[in-house]
Amino acid sequence: MKAQIGAWEKDRQQLHAILPLETPLLLEFHPTHICNFRCNYCIQSSERAFAGGKPFKREHMNWDLFKLLVQQLSDFPGEIKMVSCAGMGEPLTHPRIADMVRLFKESGKVKKVQIITNASLLTRELSHQLIDAGLDQLKVSLQGVSTEMYQIIAKSPVPWETIYGNIQYFSQIKGASKLSVKIGDTALRNGEDEIFHQLFDDVCDAVGIEHIYNMWNVNGVNVEDKLKDSQQTVWGLEPREILFCRQRFTTFDILPDGTFCLGGCHRRFGFEHNIREVPVAEQWNSAGANQVRRDMLVNGRKADPLCRICEGGSQNWHPEDLLEGHEEEILARMRAKELISD
């Protein structure tokens, strides 16, 4: 196996041509807000953080609520392209994570299920359970390539050999599941880029060295002093300003307590409800959600007080997702479908 460079999906559509979407492309699913690490650039390292407009609460999603979520996915007319089990905790701390993968896969409403993990809890037994459950992709986020860096960045005593051994074992048994490994530029010291590639290029389907950027100030945490200067986006492109952020057109989050958030950045615009009160498809296609999408296209990203301070726009842009120059055609389609009135 020789890994592809870049750990993110490359089979992308021209986004402007398919908006508005009755079925979202991506569900950012948060099985838990509990993590066994405290990485120094992550919301987990702060006590001041917010998620879904509320102070950050460390909890797992309960099983009945999870079943309700999967049941509600059948209200979408199409298939969600990807469920990403990640969010602001470590998914493998959830005792039923493999059952969750299985239920998503059996729902028939999800094309791919991925887990983003720190791999410290990826035992041999759990690797087999995840693969048997039908996991399509495991994406590992590293905090270094040595025990010392794990102590510095993740505040974890986990030995590097444990992390590497867990990944190697998954690679040996993974069958059709894809394995990618990514690392932040802040976690590599001089010369360690090469070590990273030597360790993983033959073990993984994809690898990536990524720039860590400041998005958390949207959720009450500013990590600027922990980061390196930006040279490249996660796609390997030069950072650039964008007028419209794609997130609220493509993505929604479900937090462990059942909170629905539009746009993958755990914010609240005012129309959202817990999924126990209003089903997900109803919230995705609600007047409130469409108003928020309209505001992005009419006023631009910079008119929104939180988008203005978020680096997600410039650090996570992709050519196929650019909406610049297409805003009028998208608004016209939204009006024709009576999703918005003006």
Binding site residues, ligand SF4, CB under 6 A: 35, 37-39, 42, 44, 89-90, 118, 141, 154, 218, 245, 247-248, 263, 265, 301, 306-307, 310, 312-313
Q: Which two tokens stand for residue 290?
A: 């469409």
Rank residues 102 and 139 by Cβ distance to ligand SF4 and give the closer one.
Answer: 139
- Least separation in angstroms between residue 79's CB and ligand SF4 is 24
Closest CA to 163 of 145, 182, 184: 145
How far apart are CB 108 and ligand SF4 at their closest, in Å? 30
CB of 183 to ligand SF4, least distance (A): 11
CB of 106 to ligand SF4, least distance (A): 27
CA distance 209 to 217: 23
- d(CA 10, CA 140) in angstroms, rounded, equals 18
Distance set, CA 50 to CA 44, 58, 107 (Å): 10, 11, 31
What CA–CA distance (Å, rounded) separates 65 from 72?
11
CB nearer to ligand SF4: give 141 or 166.
141
How many of the other CB atoms lie within 10 Å of CB of 218? 20
Taking the least distance from each CB to ligand SF4, the nearer of 109 and 293 is 293
Q: Which is nearer to ligand SF4, 100 or 265 (CB)?
A: 265
In DSSP notation, 213-260 reads: ---GGGGT---GGGPPPP---TTSSPP---SS-SHHHHEEEE-TT-BE
We find the least distance from the C-beta atom of residue 74 to ligand SF4, in angstroms, to be 27
How far apart, in whole angstroms, are the C-alpha atoms of residue 13 and residue 299? 24
In terms of CB distance, is 179 or 187 closer to ligand SF4? Answer: 187
The DSSP output letter for 332 is H
CB-wise, 44 or 233, nearer to ligand SF4?
A: 44
Comparing CB distances to ligand SF4, the nearer of 105 and 321 is 321
| Residue pair 131/177 in contact by the 8 Å Cβ criterion | yes
- DSSP summary character for residue 91: G
Least gap, CB of 33 to ligand SF4 (angstroms): 9
State the minimum distance, in angstroms, from the CB of residue 248 to ligand SF4.
6
Minimum distance, C-beta of residue 244 to ligand SF4, in the bound complex (Å):
9
Q: Which is nearer to ligand SF4, 247 or 290 (CB)?
A: 247
CB of 162 to ligand SF4, least distance (A): 14
Helices within the chain (DSSP H only): 15-18, 63-73, 97-106, 124-133, 147-149, 160-173, 192-200, 247-250, 280-284, 287-299, 305-309, 312-315, 327-336
Among residues 90 and 257, whose Cβ is nearest to ligand SF4? 90
Closest CA to 14 of 285, 323, 284: 323
CA dist 327 and 241 (Å) reads 16
State the DSSP code for 45. G
